[in-house]
Amino acid sequence: MIESSDLRMTRIPLNHGAGHMPALGFGTLIPDAAVTITATRDALEAGFRHFDCAERYGNEREVGRALQAGLAAGGITREDIFVTTKLWNSNHRPERVEPAFEASLDRLGLKYLDLYLIHTPFAFQPGDEQDPRDQNGNVIYDHDVTLLDTWRAMESLMDHGKCGAIGLSDISLNELKPIYESARIKPAVVQVEAHPYLPETELLEFCKEKDVVFLAFAPLGHGIRPGPLEDPVISAIAARVGKTPAQVLLAWAVQRGTALLTTPRTAARARENFDIAALPEDAFDEINRIQTRQRLNEVVKTGIPGFIPQARMKMKAKPQLEQSMQEEQIRTALDTHWHASAVGDADLEHDIYDDDAICDYPQSGERILGRRNLQALRSHHPGKPSGFKIRRILGNGNLWITEYIITYQGRLAYTVSIMEFRNGKVVHETQYFGDPFEAPAWRRQWVQQIA
């Protein structure tokens, strides 16, 4: 267990590559281009110096713009930051590796990369289509190239001084071992999902033994409910040490010897996620004893990304498959929305709404027009609800119902939210309360009255 009192400055040497990786990393999996730029800028200002990108995220250009602006502002040099990006599944053929690398480098506006990862061990049909599907909606895999073939091309990038280190992502220990044994240049980094519900202890021990950096994504559980952020052990430790549950989870990850990636979308959340401190040994051990086991992203089994919004995929599938994937996207968006609502993250909470969304409160005769008014109303709310608990989420197609309970101003409130989606965003929401309320005067600047 790392015992440093200032975990924020922890840097892990790349023993199979060049340089040191800052343990606290900023992940750039953000669907919105404008939010990508502002969130990356805010992360840089909060103190993050490790930025994890990917061709597949579709926003390398925006990340690059934010980083270039930060460097141009002064006080930070290129040598101060650590930048990673990843080779996507459709570029596993050896002859496609270097062109894909150069294209990412160009989009990022950089002269070199600190780390280049194979995004997943699964090769898709080669070409510009990132999500190739057959007429039945099944992914078209490329069975004529091996992971070792791709790794040899990655080694060639190192031979020509193209990047400081190479590694693998979304890979199991059984898949990693043969690559490690056959590799001329050993993997410097392995990036996988890891948190108290999926500690990946065996893989971590292998990485420590072989001097491979273990890089954890989704250390906060990616906002899935229920998840590590709401675990009673984490909550109790957070109260005891005077930190937030997120800060406790991130400190645990660094203290167990891993680097991590987190994706705060606001300046306040970036500052929170960077402001971590070492946990007492008893608290660290308590987290290690959590027995819940849950994998949140199945990409390691199929190569199909679990957290990348489906809107980025050009589907060639049957209508029922498209509907199933859209419903999965909506359910993930709802999980994120309600978690953000519970923790008071107004920016993330309102990502789910269309710019012109309408929210009706029939019992108080109120109508709120537009996402900006919804967010402004929430931000100016006098007091914060507590005891937030989802009872159930039901729905299919574009109509979804959430039942939840909150405690507000000492009163228990049973609430039903009915949301209508279009193109993955809420266009109309109606909320009903078990205990109807009279609209207070302070709300009036953001609402209209309805019959």
Closest among 213, 114, 101 to 156, alpha carbons compared: 101
For residues 377 and 448, give the distance between their C-alpha atoms in angstroms, rounded to a whole number.
13
Phi, psi (rounded to 5 degrees) for 141: -85, 155
Q: What letter represents residue 296's amino acid? A: L
For residues 136 and 159, give the distance between their C-alpha atoms in angstroms, rounded to a whole number.
42
Angle at 101 between CA 99 and CA 104, to 5 degrees: 110
Catalytic residue of the set 57, 353, 404, 408? 57
For residue 137, the tally of other CB atoms under 10 A from its CB is 16
Task: Report the b/e string of 371-388 with b at 16+ CB within 10 A.
Answer: bebbbbbbeeeeeebeeb
Ordered DSSP codes for 106-118 = HHHT-S-BSEEEE
Can 57 be counted among the known catalytic residues? Answer: yes
- Token digits of residue 243: 């930190």
For residues 20 and 15, give the distance between their C-alpha atoms in angstroms, rounded to a whole number.
9
State CA 190 to chain mean position distance: 17
- Token digits of residue 21: 């990786």
Task: Report the b/e string of 13-38 with b at 16+ CB within 10 A.
Answer: ebebbeeebbbbbbbbbbbeeebbbb
**Residues involved in catalysis:** 57
